[in-house]
Amino acid sequence: MRRWLLLIAAAALAAQACGGGGGGGSSFNPDNVSGTVVLSGWQASPEEGQALNAALAGFKAKYPKITVDYQPIAGDYPTAMVAKFSAHQPPDVFYVDSGVAPDWIKQGVLQPLDDWASSRGFDTSQFYPGYLNAFKSSDGKTYGYPKDGNTLAMAYNPDMLNAAGVQPPASYDDMMTVGAALKSKGMVAYSMSVTLDRILAFIYGDGGNLLSSNKKSDAIDSKFKDGVSFYLNLFKMGYAKSPSQLGVDWNGKALGEKKAAIIFEGGWLDSYMKGTFPSVPYKWVAMPKGAAGQATLGFTVSYSIGKDSPHPDAAWLLLTYLTGPDGMKIWTQGGVANPSRKDVPAPAGKDVLVNSASFAHPWSFIPGFSKVNDAFNNAFEAAVEGKGSVDDVISKTKSALDQQLNQP
C-alpha cells in the first residue's frame, strides 16, 4: 500500500514536471477559478475570528466563484495536521508556524511557491525579510508567505520604574543598573523566561549566532557564550526571576500582577493585558542594545499550500489575497496581528513592535531543531538552579545542534 502511494505520488510529480506546473504562465486566469477551498489553522480568539471573517468576506467579494470552507483545528495543531499529511489529505491552505517550517519543508508536505509567484505576478518584495526567510528552504525556495509577524520588545510598568527613579534600560549594561536599582527597592526587575525563544534575542544582541549563514554548520562561539552568561547573570544577581519562580505561568501575568517591572514579550501581550489586567499601566519600547547592537526575535506564521492539495489554483488565490496588501490590511487593522509587509500600515499603538521587525531574526532554523531547543532549555534551567555552568549549556547545545546538522 505504501509503495503504491509512493508510485502514484512520483508519477504525479513527473507528470507535473512535464506538464509545466499547476497551470502554466499564460493559461492561468483567476476569473476562471471556481470551487471550494479548505482553509485550516489553529483556534483563534474571538477577535481573531472576527478579523479573519472580515478578511474572508473581502476575498469573497473579489472572487465570488470561490467558496472558502474554514475548518479550524482545536488544540494540538501539529499532531492533527501530521495525520492529514500522512494520509495525503491536507487542507488546501493552512497555517505553518515558523518553528516547524524547516521540518515540514524538508519532509515535502508544502507546495513551493516561487514559480507561481513569478508566472502569476505576486509581489513578495514587501515582506520583511526577517519573516519571509523563515519559510525558505536551505536552497532558497519559498514555501509560504508570512500572514503577520510579531517581534519581542520590552514592556515595562512606568509606575514601578518611577518608584525606583529609573528609566527603561537602553543597553544590556543599563539592564544591570536598572536591575540593581529596582532590587534595592524590593522589587523584581525582570520576569524572564528560561527558554531559548527569548534568550536567543540577547545572544543575537551580543553578536552571537546559532548557525552559519548557509545553515550548514554551527556558529556557536564566545559571543554566543557572552549572551548566555549575561542572561544567566541577571538571575544570579537576583534581578531576574523566571515565571515559575514568581508563581505565574508566563511573563505577561507577572507584569499584570505587578510581580515584575519589565518583561520581554510580543504583541500578544496587548490583548492579554486588556482583557485580564485592564487597570495595570504598561508601555512598549524597543529591545535594549547589546554589544552588537539591537536584536530581537521574529515570530511568524505563514499561510502555505499543501503539496497534495486538490485545489491548488483556488488555494493560490486565497493565499495571495490573505498575504497580499488588501487582505492583510483587513486582517491587521483591528490590532489582532501585526503586518508582515511594509506596504501595510501598522495598527495604532503597535509602532514599536512593527518597527522592530527591521532588526528581527527569524525563529526558524533547521529540521529537527526542537531537540536543540529542548537541550538548551533543560541545560539552562539546570544552570539557573545552580546545577550546571554556562559551559555546560554551551556544550550541550552545541552537541545537540551538531547532531541535527549531521542528519542527512
Partner 1 sequence: MSVTTIPRVAAAEPQSEPVVRRRIGRGAVYAILILYSLVVFVPFLWTLSTSFKTLPESLQLTFIPQNPTVQGYITAWTQLKPALPVMFFNSFLLAFIVTVTNVFFGALGGYAFARLRFPGREALFLLVLGTLMIPDQLRMVPVYQILVNLGLVTPGPQNYVGISLVMAISATSLFVMRQFFLTIPYDLEESARIDGAGFFTTFWRVLLPLSRPALATVAIMSFQGTWNGFFWPLILLQAQQHWTLPLGLSQFRFQYSTNWPPLMALDVVATVPIVILYLFFQRSFVSGLSAGAVKG
Partner 2 sequence: MLGIGKARGSLGTERAQEALAGYGFIAIPMVLFLIFNIGALFYSAYISLWRWEILGPTEYLGFRNYAFILRDDVFHTAIKNSLYYTIVVVPIQMAIGLTLAVVVNQIWRGRSFFRAAFYFPAIASSAAITVLYIYIMAPDGLFNHLLELIGVNPLGFHNQGNWLGHSDTALNSIIGLNAWTTSGTMMLFYLGQLTAIPTEVYEAAKADGAGPWTTFWRITFPLLRPAHYLVATVSVIGALQMFDQAYIAGGSGGDPAYSLMTMVLYLYNSAFRQFEFGYAAAVGIVLFVIIFTATLVQRRLFGSSDWSSAR
> Which residues of this protein are in contact with partner 1, per CB under 8 A?
1, 43-46, 71-76, 79-80, 82-83, 86-87, 89, 250, 252-253, 257, 268-269, 271-272, 275-279
Residue of 39, 56, 68, 109 interacting with partner 2 (CB under 8 A):
109
Is 12 a residue that touches partner 2 (CB under 8 A)?
no
Q: How far is CA 348 from CA 49, 109, 336, 339, in A?
A: 20, 37, 11, 12
**Mask of contacts with partner 2, 243-262, x by CB under 8 A?**
-xxxxxx-------------
Q: Which does 104 bind (CB under 5 to 8 A by kind): partner 2, partner 1, none?
A: partner 2
Is residue 378 near partner 2 by the rule CB under 8 A?
Answer: yes
Q: Is 34 in the site for partner 2 (CB under 8 A)?
A: no
Number of residues lying near partner 2 (CB under 8 A): 38
Question: Is 236 among the residues that bind partner 2 (CB under 8 A)?
Answer: no
Cell digits of residue 80: 492533527
276 makes contact, choosing from partner 1, partner 2, none, with CB < 5 to 8 Å by partner type, with partner 1
- Is 2 a residue that touches partner 2 (CB under 8 A)? yes
- Residue 159 interacting with partner 2 (CB under 8 A): no
The partner in contact with residue 389, picked from partner 2, partner 1, none with C-beta cut-offs of 5 to 8 angstroms by kind, is none
Q: Which of 54, 82, 117, 170 binds partner 2 (CB under 8 A)?
A: 82
Q: Dihedral through CA 50, CA 55, CA 61, CA 65, nearest 10?
A: -100
The binder of partner 2 chosen from 69, 221, 385, 402 (CB under 8 A)? 385
Q: Contact with partner 2 (CB under 8 A): which of 66, 373, 390, 394?
A: 373
**368, interface contact from partner 2, partner 1, none, CB < 5-8 Å by kind:** partner 2
C-alpha span between 106 and 170 (Å, rounded): 40
Binds 47: which of partner 1, partner 2, none (CB < 5-8 Å by kind): none
Residue 398 binds: one of partner 2, partner 1, none (C-beta under 5 to 8 A by kind): none
Residues 304-323 that bind partner 2 (CB under 8 A): none
Q: How far is the CB of 321 from partner 1 (least distance, A)?
A: 22
* Contact positions vs partner 2 (CB under 8 A): 2, 5-6, 9, 76, 78-79, 82, 85-86, 88, 100, 103-104, 107-109, 242, 244-249, 367-368, 370-371, 373-374, 377-379, 381-382, 385, 387, 408
